[in-house]
């Protein structure tokens, strides 16, 4: 007992030990993810068979010859879609769809006798028709094979009618993995859809991936029959990024872990958003490098009404493959890869996150309630305090491992408290600015790794589950910082004093600016499409130069605010208005920690992104200080009466 009574550890040693434990636990929990990212390097460029047909016709070559040219340039897969009623009515195939001339309620499918796959296709279509209404028989003549489809044309416009056997055969002959896209199934047509899909998958074992097309997946809302067919034939499902198809989310869950992420941009989006070819290529590269997407659908240019040119498109395929290969990816068909451990949370990753949570909470509470104007200790030193800290950490760890809700709250609040502590560390010692900045940055990295380790499992990495604490990480830290600053009189007034006096015009405008910045940050956190054109160009330029583009809130808000705040403190400037700079610092560190909550982004890429964000943001802050000294301060002195 006497030994324990004499036991005492310095605050700095306790902090270093705690951070070391957090870092080791995070590393242990992140090992499966790092192995996953190391294995998940294969990618394939996908082209639509109908685009190949169009380019081949324009170049006066056979479609198979066009496929060979594209394959030599690095093409990795052929996408083949089923023909819908609208496709046949628009003449997309030699197969014709017309109303039943006998006055019935059906439609007539006419297959030319010269069609190479007429016999096989007639069997499939007869089976499809029989699955809807028994007794259908094809009518065979010298010119065509005719089948009565027992549904009116208006009822089957969006329904899959005819498998594109020509495209399936082309993929087979070219030796390319096939990405097959069956179309939707109308009411009462699910049995026919299932029967035809089973037949196609059996006849063409080269089909390596399936995802239904259309706004509604066949069978919605019950997606289990479709998932059962794909599982029975051992065919993975394509998890299409940003898909709004009804039923797609259910299929992702039912097919897990046999899913492969895919990025596709439709022709309608290319035209509607006026996406040029360079932007299109950069978007595909970004999907593969930043988000781990391994199947990329590349479409030829469609603008200007001109037909797509095969040679130009082949060069684009080559350029895309080269761009991805230069970033360490391998042009080869990807396979579904799950983490080596089953879905669940490891003990050490939970321990690391629990320690980061308790450490950050302890430091904040000691800062907040410590005696003002006197030195106070923010870390346990006596052995009862150390034992209590360790015991509470273990209790949180055990509770989070067995209660999912606690686990999610742990991750969300850890991220928010790590942001708060990182910002306070970075702003804590203006006289040793660079040391304080580095301390805050490293704390954010270690804390971010602990949150990443907590959720680095297959369900999060494949985006079936998402981190639920993004909004909390953006909103809670600024509130905690403002309350802390008023309590500790870092802001010269307390909250009661601030509320009891009339507001100043300067405070009013700065408050509006602060609310606007927070509103933009919240709105933009899940709405990446709302980006001004100039910001999009800056992003693209940074990606070309740095590869791992730093996030805008760090580069243009967080770190410049930090540099300006240190400058203001050291020069005794803007004592009443530094709070907006401190909140800007918090917004920047929120972005740092949230970067680690993008579990589909490779971890090494995230670390590189944060390094680039640090030095570029500090560089911009340095130039802001130069501008402040040279231009802004002289103008401020002349207009100071407005803010008094």
Q: Which residues are within 8 A (CB) of 1 and not within 5 positions of it... i.e. 6 or more apart?
A: none
pLDDT average, residue stretch 208-214: 92
- Tell me, what's the pLDDT at 184? 78
Query: Rounded to whole angstroms, how far apart are CA atoms 587 and 553?
Result: 7
What is the C-alpha separation between 13 and 35, in angstroms, rounded? 33
Task: Kindly report, residue by residue over 337-383, the tens digit of the pLDDT.
Answer: 765 444 456 889 999 999 999 999 999 998 888 776 555 667 776 77
pLDDT mean over 247-264? 91
CB neighbours (10 Å) of residue 526? 9
Residue 62 neighbours by CB under 8 Å, 6+ apart: 56
Among residues 586, 555, 558, the alpha carbon closest in space to that of 423 is found at 586
Q: What is the pTM of this model?
A: 0.82
Q: Indicate the pLDDT class of residue 174, thresholds 50, 70 and 90.
A: very high
| Dihedral pair phi/psi, residue 464, rounded to 5° | -75, -30
Most confident of 53-67, 326-340, 378-392, 456-470: 53-67
For the cut 80, the answer to whether the pLDDT of residue 136 exceeds it is: no
289-307, pLDDT tens digit by residue? 888 899 999 998 765 556 6
pLDDT at 515: 64
Higher-confidence residue: 546 or 192?
A: 192
pLDDT the model gives residue 178 = 96
What is the spatial distance between Cα 596 and Cα 610, in angstroms, rounded to a whole number?
10
CB 496 within 8 A of CB 439: no
DSSP-assigned letters across all residues of 294-354: -EEE-----GGGPPPPHHHHHHHHHHHHHHHHTTT-EES-------SSPSS--HHHHHHHH
Residues of the chain with pLDDT > 90: what percent?
39
pLDDT over 50 (residue 526): no
Strand 207-210, strand 42-48: pairing: unpaired
Q: Are 541 and 601 in contact (CB under 8 A)?
A: no
- Per the model's pLDDT, the better-predicted residue between 508 and 490 turns out to be 490
pLDDT, mean over the chain: 83
8 Å CB contact between 413 and 467? no
Which pLDDT score is estimated for 254? 92
Lowest mean pLDDT among 51-55, 78-82, 219-223, 392-396: 219-223
pLDDT at 3 over 50: no
Which residue in the block uniquely carries the two structure tokens 């069609």? 115
pLDDT tens for 181-206 read 998 776 666 777 888 899 899 999 99
Q: Are strands 144-149 and 107-112 parallel, antiparallel or unpaired?
A: antiparallel
Total number of residues shown for the chain:
644
Contact 138, 126 (CB under 8 A): yes
Does the pLDDT value for residue 544 go beyond 70? no
Checking if the pLDDT of 584 tops 80, the result is yes
The pLDDT score that the predictor gives to residue 518 is: 58
> What is the pLDDT averaged over residues 207-221?
90
pLDDT of 449 above 90: yes
Residue 92 burial (10 A CB sphere; 0-12, 13-18, 19+): middle
Confidence band of 412 (pLDDT split at 50, 70, 90) = very high
Q: Tell me what the mean pLDDT of segment 117-145 comes to.
A: 74
pLDDT of residue 522: 53
The structure tokens listed for 246 are 């009804």
Statement: residue 118 has pLDDT above 50: yes
C-alpha Rg value of the chain to the nearest Å: 30
pLDDT at residue 375, rounded to an integer? 58
Vertex 427: Cα angle to 423 and 432 (nearest 5): 135
Nearest to 81 by CA among 228, 258, 299: 299
Give the lowest-confidence range in 94-98, 162-166, 189-193, 498-502: 498-502
The rounded distance, in Å, linking the Cα atoms of 121 and 145 is 10
Confidence at 122, pLDDT banded by 50, 70, 90: confident
Give dist(CA 274, CA 277) in Å, integer: 10
Query: What pLDDT does residue 529 have?
Result: 47
Position with higher pLDDT, 532 vs 551: 551
What is the structure's pLDDT at 374? 56
pLDDT at 528: 45
Give the position of tokens 């070391």.
Answer: 20
Q: How many C-alpha atoms does 494 have within 13 Å on its Cβ side?
A: 6
Task: Give yes or no for residue 11 having a pLDDT over 50.
Answer: yes
* DSSP 8-state assignment for residue 183: -
- Mean pLDDT for 568-572 is 86
* pLDDT recorded at residue 332: 93
Q: What is the pLDDT of residue 4?
A: 46
Question: Cis link prior to 257 (omega < 30° from 0)?
Answer: yes
Sign of the dihedral defined by the CA atoms of residues 50, 54, 57, 61, in that order? negative
Q: What pLDDT was estimated at residue 533? A: 53
User: To which H or E segment does residue 638 belong?
Assistant: helix 633-639
Tokens coding 323: 């761009």
Integer CA distances (angstroms), 312 to 73, 216, 464, in order: 11, 34, 37
pLDDT of 214 reads 86
Res. 527 pLDDT band, cuts 50 70 90? very low
Does residue 452 register a pLDDT over 60? yes
Mean pLDDT of 149-168: 85
The residue ranges of every structural domain in the chain are 2-36+340-643, 42-80+178-331, 83-162
The closest of 82, 261, 87 to 185, measured between CA atoms, is: 82
Distance CA 530, CA 526 (A): 10
Asked whether the beta carbons of 88 and 97 are under 8 A apart, the reply is yes
Q: Quick one: CATH architecture of 42-80+178-331? A: Alpha-Beta Barrel (3.20)
8 A C-beta contact, residue 298 and residue 76: no
**Mean pLDDT for the stretch of residues 397-420:** 92
């Amino acid at each position: 007992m006497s030994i324990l009574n004499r036991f005492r550890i310095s605050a700095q040693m306790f902090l270093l030990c705690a951070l070391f434990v957090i870092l080791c636990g995070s590393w242990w929990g992140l090992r499966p993810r790092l192995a996953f990212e190391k294995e998940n390097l294969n990618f394939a460029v996908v082209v639509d068979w109908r685009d190949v047909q169009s380019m081949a016709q324009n170049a006066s070559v056979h479609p198979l010859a066009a496929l060979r040219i594209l394959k030599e340039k690095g093409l990795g897969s052929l996408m083949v879609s089923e023909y819908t009623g609208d496709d046949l009515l628009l003449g997309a195939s030699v197969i014709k769809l017309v109303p039943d001339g006998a006055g019935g309620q059906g439609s007539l499918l006419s297959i030319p006798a010269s069609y190479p796959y007429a016999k096989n296709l007639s069997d499939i279509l007869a089976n499809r028709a029989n699955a809807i209404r028994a007794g259908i028989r094809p009518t065979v003549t010298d010119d065509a094979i005719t089948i009565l489809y027992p549904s009116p044309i208006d009822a089957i416009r969006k329904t899959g009618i005819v498998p594109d056997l020509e495209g399936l055969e082309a993929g087979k002959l070219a030796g390319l993995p096939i990405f097959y896209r069956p179309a939707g199934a109308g009411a009462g047509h699910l049995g026919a859809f299932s029967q035809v899909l089973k037949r196609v998958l059996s006849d063409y074992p080269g089909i390596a991936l399936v995802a239904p097309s259309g706004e509604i997946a066949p069978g919605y809302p019950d997606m289990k029959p479709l998932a059962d067919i794909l599982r029975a034939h051992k065919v993975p499902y394509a998890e299409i990024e940003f898909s709004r198809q009804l039923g797609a989310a259910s299929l992702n869950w039912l097919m897990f872990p046999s899913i492969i992420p895919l990025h596709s941009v439709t022709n309608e989006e290319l035209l509607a958003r006026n996406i040029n070819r360079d932007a299109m290529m950069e978007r595909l590269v970004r999907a593969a490098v930043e988000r781990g997407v391994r199947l990329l659908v590349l479409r030829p240019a469609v603008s200007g009404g001109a037909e797509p040119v095969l040679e130009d498109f082949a060069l684009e395929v080559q350029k895309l493959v080269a761009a991805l290969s230069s970033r360490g990816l391998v042009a080869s068909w990807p396979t579904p890869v799950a983490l080596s451990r089953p879905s669940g949370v490891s003990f050490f990753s939970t321990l690391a996150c629990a320690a980061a949570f308790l450490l950050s909470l302890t430091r904040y509470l000691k800062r907040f309630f410590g005696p003002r104007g006197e030195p106070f200790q923010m870390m346990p030193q006596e052995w009862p305090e150390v034992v209590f800290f360790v015991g509470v950490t273990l209790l949180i760890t055990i509770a989070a491992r067995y209660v999912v809700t606690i686990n999610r709250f742990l991750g969300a609040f850890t991220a928010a408290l790590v942001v708060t502590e990182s910002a306070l560390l970075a702003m804590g010692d203006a006289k040793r600015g660079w040391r304080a900045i580095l301390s805050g940055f490293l704390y954010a990295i270690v804390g971010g790794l602990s949150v990443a380790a907590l959720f680095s499992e297959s369900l999060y990495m494949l985006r079936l589950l998402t981190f639920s604490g993004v909004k909390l990480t953006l909103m809670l830290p600024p509130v905690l910082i403002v309350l802390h600053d008023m309590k500790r009189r870092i802001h010269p007034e307390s909250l009661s004093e601030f509320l009891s006096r009339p507001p100043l015009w300067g405070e009013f405008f700065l408050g509006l600016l602060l609310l606007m910045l927070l509103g933009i940050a919240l709105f933009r956190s899940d709405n990446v499409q709302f980006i001004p054109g100039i910001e999009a160009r800056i992003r693209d330029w940074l990606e070309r130069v740095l590869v791992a583009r730093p996030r805008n809130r760090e580069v243009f808000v967080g770190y410049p605010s930090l540099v300006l705040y240190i400058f203001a403190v050291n020069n005794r400037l803007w004592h009443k208005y530094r709070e907006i700079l401190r909140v800007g610092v918090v917004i920047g560190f929120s972005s740092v920690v949230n970067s680690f909550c993008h579990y589909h982004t490779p971890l090494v890429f995230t670390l590189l992104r944060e390094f680039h964000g640090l030095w570029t943001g500090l560089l911009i802050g340095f130039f802001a200080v130069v501008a402040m000294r040279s231009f802004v301060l002289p103008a401020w002195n002349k207009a100071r009466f407005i803010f008094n």
